[in-house]
Every structure is written in C-alpha cells, then in structure tokens.
Structure 1
C-alpha cells in the first residue's frame, strides 16, 4: 500500500465512545489525515471504520487488532503499524478498562446530600468497588490494559514516533479519578487494593511526564488529558437505565457546579465515576473530546508536560479546555518509569523468539 499522505493518527480503543468520537472530529478537521483504529474487537472496529468512511468517504481509515492487556498482541499490532506507516504523528492512548465494577448505592445517596457532593462526583471517591483479574501474562488486568500495554506499544513504535526534524505526540486519556493516594510504587499493579482504575490513571499521569523527560531531544512528547465526567460503554451496565433517568436532573445541576462534568462522549474522553450508558444523556456529543482535539492543534513545545489538560463544559454546554498541575513528583515518576522498563525487558526476554518472529528477525 502506498505511503500515507498527510499526518497519521493511531487511536487505541477507537471503535466506540470517546475513541470513535475523537476519530470523527479529527477527520472533520483534517480530511487528509490517515487514521488507524487499534481495537481489540475487529468486528466493532470494522463497523466503526465503515461509519467513518460513510461520513468521510475520501479519508483513509484502517484497523489493526490490538489488545493492550496481551503483550504478544501489542507486539503484533506494533509491527503492523510500523510496516504500514513511515511515521505516526499522534498516538492516542485511549483504550481502557475499569475491571468488574460495583457501585455502593448508599454512598451515592449520601453523596447527593453531602456538602462535598461536587468533589465526590467529580472524582468518584468511594462510590465504586473494582474487582481486578489476572491476564494470561500474569499481570493485573487494569494495569496491563490501561498502562503497561500502552507503554510497550510506545517502546515498540519508537522507529515511527522518533523521527529526525519531526515531533510526534503521545496523548493519554486520563481521569479526574487519578489520585496519588490510590497509587503505591511498591505495588504499582495495584494487586492488593480496591482502586485499580484510580491507581492506573495516576500511573499514566506520572508516566506521561517521565516519557517526555526520557525522550527529550528525540522528537517525542507526551501529554495527559482528562475528558471530565463522561457516559461511555466503559461503564455500561453498572447501574440500570432507570437510575440515570432519575439522576439526569442532578447531572445538569452538578454541571453548573462542576465544569468538568461534561457528560457526553464528545464532552470528555472517559467515564470517571459510575455512570451507565443512557442515550438521552449525550447532551452535546461534541464537547467530550474537546481536549483531545485541542492538543493535536497545539505546538507541542508550548505545552507543559507537568499539567493535565482537561475538557470543561459551561452550564449550557459550551466546551473549553482548562489545565491543572499534575499532583506528581518527578523522582517518583522516574522510578516508576524504570520499573516499567524492567518489566518490559522481562517480557522481551520471555517472548524473545515470538517477538523476533513477529518482527521478521
């Protein structure tokens, strides 16, 4: 296949929700963009591709199978991307999981009348209980899916991300649910806790800052972006639909109090708390991905790697981008980065023959 014209964007988890909405917006802004949807489910990925081509018939949209919880799948996907594209301009690390989630209904009721309600619903504090599982690689599933698989992907794509006289952007989907207290450097997979999602999102915030430092001068920068409070398939089924009909008026009130409650997939990039999918709640699907699109339009050197850029929404639904300092310290971020390098090297050794075969070596 001929080399792609224009810029190239790869979106993990690009077949639904925030990922698909982001793809639509990027193609609308730049019809010459080559788009690669890196997804676990190829049937859904192909359906998303066809939907995008229906609205953008002259665009180049392709799919590659990627399961970020499976190291060998990451190796295979990375090789296909390297073979297909001479460079990648935007790598959107959007795929994610919350594990098996249950909601503390009593905590929700108490939160509704709490003076701290805006903060509780913004972060999801104590509202969710997450049960993690172990992948076939022996990793915690939330950590593997949200963090490590994406880290391995970056490492495997260095050739097409780090190019002379060119700057590529890695853009992570983070969350307001990312909190320092949920993360333990000595248990960075969060195998002993109940807040795996929060831990993984804090880990991506740290990793983003560490990556920019590690790749300084090599043409790769990393940013972390938060969508606000969004309803996507990630949390579909956590609560029955009737609950959201009851709570919809509350969400409108909360948005007036908390700008980060962007509610729809266009408004943010990922669910932060416990909302299930209710079609009537996609108030303004355009707003959710505001920050992800905005980052692609900025000069990378003008962005602060120690800030999280966030989709916000005014009372009547107008989207805008805000930023906040990351609650991290660089020495800890560097230690975490080194631990990931050690873990990645472990799997390179474990799967040496498989990886060499995939890479044609």
Structure 2
C-alpha cells in the first residue's frame, strides 16, 4: 500500500528539501504539497516531477494561518485519501524580525557566539499582530492552524491496526522562558516565534500522551541553523555577506550549523525511516552537520513540564471551540467523529 505524506510549507526551504529527500528514498509514496501560494507550489511540483517523473505529487491550497482555509483543506484531504501515514507540520512565519545590533556585535566576538547564532537568545524579537480570525498571527500560523488540522484529520490518522506520524518543525529558539501559560498567544510579549515553537514542543508531548494508544505518534525536530527565506529576512543582505564565511568556519567546531535546507531536513527524513515505537516522545530530534559535511540526527531532551502540557492542550481545545463559534457557516459541515 502506498504511503500518503502531507507536508505543509512544502514549496521552499526545508519543506522542499524534504520532498526531494523523501522521493529519493521512496518514489512510490503519495506526496501532497500543502501550500499557501498556489503558483509557488505548482513550480515546486514541476521541479519534483522533473527529477522524479514517475512520482505522484498532489497539491493542496492551505493557509495554516486561517482557520477557514484549514477546515476547507482538511475537507479536501478527507475526500482524497482514506488514510494518512505522515503529516509534516513545517509551515511557519517570523514576521518583522528585529535584531539588537549592539547585542549582535557584542556576542559575535564572545564565547557565546555559537549559541547566539543557533538560538537567537537575547538577540531577536518580532512584532506580531491579530489576523482575520482575531488570533495572533504567529501563534495561528505556527501552531494553532496545525493543531486544528490534526484535529480535523484524526479520522485519517487514528485508524485501527495502523500507525500514523505527525512531525513538527520546531527550533532551537523554542525557549520555555518565552512562553506563558497565561498568555498562550503571546499577545503581551516580544518573542512570538520562540513562544510558538516551544508551544509546538508541548503540544507534541500532549498528543503522544493522548493518542499513542490510537496509533498516532508525534515527534519534534530542530533543523539547526538553516539559510532559508525566513532566515535571510532577519538581517540585511550585506550582513549575510559578511557573516556567512564566519558561519562556515564556525561549523568546523560545532555541529548545529546545518546551513543548507538539504542538511536541515536530515532529522525529518530520518524520522521517516524509524518505527514510531522506538522513538522518545519527550525528545527533540536535531539535524546536525559535522565540519566535514556529514549529516546525522541526534535526540536531545526537551525542557517540558507534563502538567503544563495538559493544561495547554485543554486551553487549545477551548480556543478551538471559541473560534468555531465565530464560523457558524462552517460548523454544520465540520463536526466529525474525532477520536478523543
């Protein structure tokens, strides 16, 4: 039976690299690129079919920052497929990043340079804003839209006698200090990206506690420091011209600078080859690259509190109910027999 693999944010960066690596591994799988930009998705599909002409590559219009789009996409997926084997939750945004230039140059020539580049701790902030659903944009795109998507697709993910996998693209910037259980959307903070990624770590742990018995297994990955459109947007182009040679040099002494999307997709590809029962539900699987360019995956424990994970999951369920009440025209068509 063919494997069905859904990847959000698949038209560029790590998502696109993952598509290439999965098709190189198994061209028989059914790959679905779930993307916001239809034109870019079609271009990505054409490129994949050029290198793998026998592949089956589907497209799906999906903006995970819009609950309406998520519900419509889930409805389409349930019409197309009978089951889903892998759901890679890779789409994400970091709008209006602001770098503390003074802290940057101070850290650049200190012993904390590697950690600064790898985590952006004390360096990077963003300005968030509400979206059309009244949710904070970063929270909605990086976390809540994916949460609703998983909930809607549970009939395809939770099936007797089968196992399915959900894989979250997290970050080394996912820090507990940036998250507040009293402000899960990070309305009052300046690090919404870090908060949303830490939230995805917690959600993965909560999903495993609730859904492993029904065949659904969740994992979290960190792609390392990868140069993508999102990363390049953090600093002006002339900064990267200056910094890149230094970063390649630093990679000789550390393994966290994966730099290319192909390298960053290492852990996502590695998880595709593993049996879910062998994985640690409380570990984050890091893509790492040696100074000589060898790629490998390493699990590292996450700074997670089980009780807070459960409280957070319950808050997401309540928020989902509240959001659905504001979408009455969709509610009548979207009530499913979710495996709870």
Aligned residues: 337
Name the residue aligned to 1:133. 129
Instruction: Verify: 1:295 aligned to 2:291, yes or no.
Output: no
Which residue number corresponds to residue 187 of structure 2?
Answer: 191
Q: Which residue of 2 is the match for residue 182 of structure 1?
A: 178
Alignment of 1:137-176 (within 5 A): 137-176=133-172
Is this contact kept in 2: 1:348–1:355, CA < 8 A? Answer: yes
Q: Give the 5 Å matches for 1:324-339.
A: 324-339=300-315
The whole-number CA distance in structure 2 between the counterparts of 1:89 and 1:166 is: 9
1:107-256 alignment to 2 at 5 Å? 107-256=103-252
* CA shift digits 1:29-56 (9 cap, x unpaired): 0011000011111111111111111111
CA displacement at 1:260 relative to structure 2:
1.2
Can you give the 5+ residue segments of structure 2 that lack an aligned partner in the other structure?
none
SS of structure 1 residue aligned to 2:280: coil
Q: Give the CA deviation at 1:99.
A: 1.7
The 2-side partners of 1:99 and 1:160 are apart by 32
- Residue in 1 aligned with 2:31? 35
Q: State whether residues 79 and 359 of structure 1, in contact with CA within 8 Å, keep that contact through their aligned partners in structure 2.
A: no
Q: Distance in 2 between matches of 1:346 and 1:9?
A: 30
Paired with 1:163 and 1:348, the residues of 2 have a C-alpha distance of 25
Label 1:208 to 1:248 Cα distance change in 2 as closer, same or farther (>3 A). same
Structure 1 residues 217 and 359, CA gap change in structure 2 (3 angstroms):
closer
Compute the displacement of 1:358 (Å): 6.6
Rounded to whole Å, the distance in 2 between the matches of 1:357 and 1:162 is 20
Q: Deviations over 1:150-189 (max 9, x none)?
A: 0000000011111111100000000000001000000010
Deviations 1:130-149 (A, max 9, x none): 01011111100000000000
Matched, 1:258 2:249: no
How far apart are 1:19 and its partner, in Å?
A: 0.5
1:257: Cα distance to partner?
2.9
Aligned counterparts of 1:181 and 1:237: Cα–Cα separation in 2: 24
Tell me if 1:103 matches 2:79. no
Instruction: Indicate conservation of the 8 Å contact 2:254/2:291, yes or no.
Output: no
Cα root mean square deviation, aligned: 1.5
Q: Deviations over 1:59-117 (max 9, x none)?
A: 11011111111101000000101110111100000000012112222221111111222
Query: When the two structures are superposed, what TM-score results if normalisation uses the length of structure 2?
Result: 0.96
What secondary structure, in the 3-state scheme, does the structure 2 residue paired with 1:251 have? Answer: helix
Residue of structure 2 equivalent to 1:343: 319
Q: Is the 8 A contact 2:31 2:57 kept in 1?
A: yes
- 1:267-299 superposed Cα distances (whole Å, 9 cap, x missing partner): 21xxxxxxxxxxxxxxxxxxxx11000001000
CA contact (8 A) 1:99 1:133 kept: no
The 3-state SS of whatever aligns with 2:218 is strand
SS in 1 for 2:92: coil
Q: TM-score, normalised by structure 1?
A: 0.91
In structure 1, stretches of 5+ residues that fail to align are 269-288
